[in-house]
Amino acid sequence: MRTCAKCGASVERLADCSMAMNLGDGEVHWCKKCLPTPSAELIIEELERFMSTVNKNSEEKSMNFTEYQAASKKTAIYPRESMFYPALGLAGEAGEVANKVKKVYRGDLTKAELKEALSKELGDVLWYVAALCDEMGLDMGEVAELNVKRLADRQARGALGGSGDDR
């Protein structure tokens, strides 16, 4: 059913719909009450408003790394007090990621299949990152934040292209 992006009223009938826009993922509609005379300015304004609600919703849906670490902890079944298990698991899952990419290179997997596969494999990588953070008493959210800060610092010093652990 087609509904107005602003008030939710049905715009199933052509007569009720003031504007329809195709945003790639599908059409978005506005009723005549919400968008009586869609001028170019009004259309842009409405689109920006609509996109900001879409972005806000998707932000609310995703979790931050601190929340993820807490959630993934509940499924951590391995010999505890062991940094080796998650470290080796992380290397193993990174290998699985590389293996999927290899299959595309070899022609055994399409790009779309790779995307689907990596949506799971990269999650496996994350799981072991979280487990290793746990073992080390690190907050995964803080690890991510520190990384962004270090990248920004490197960029500011014009050293982004170099190599080494402590640039």
The residue ranges that bind Mg ion (CB under 5 A) are 93, 96, 121, 124
C-alpha to C-alpha distance for 152 and 163, rounded to whole angstroms: 15
Which partner, Mg ion, Zn ion, none, binds residue 96 by CB below 5 to 8 Å per kind?
Answer: Mg ion
Total of chain residues touching Zn ion, rule CB under 5 A: 6
7/159 with CB nearer Zn ion: 7
Which partner, Mg ion, Zn ion, none, binds residue 31 by CB below 5 to 8 Å per kind?
Answer: Zn ion
Dihedral over alpha carbons 101, 104, 106, 109 (to 10 degrees): 120
- Say whether residue 4 binds Zn ion (CB under 5 A): yes
Q: Work out how close the CB of 163 gets to Zn ion at its nearest, in angstroms, rounded to a whole number.
A: 55
50/85 with CB nearer Zn ion: 50
Among 17, 19, 28, 31, binds Zn ion (CB under 5 A): 31
- Say whether residue 6 binds Zn ion (CB under 5 A): yes
For Zn ion, the binding residues in 55-94 under the rule CB under 5 A are: none
Q: Work out how close the CB of 125 gets to Mg ion at its nearest, in angstroms, rounded to a whole number.
A: 8
Contacts with Zn ion, residue ranges (CB under 5 A) = 4, 6-7, 9, 31, 34
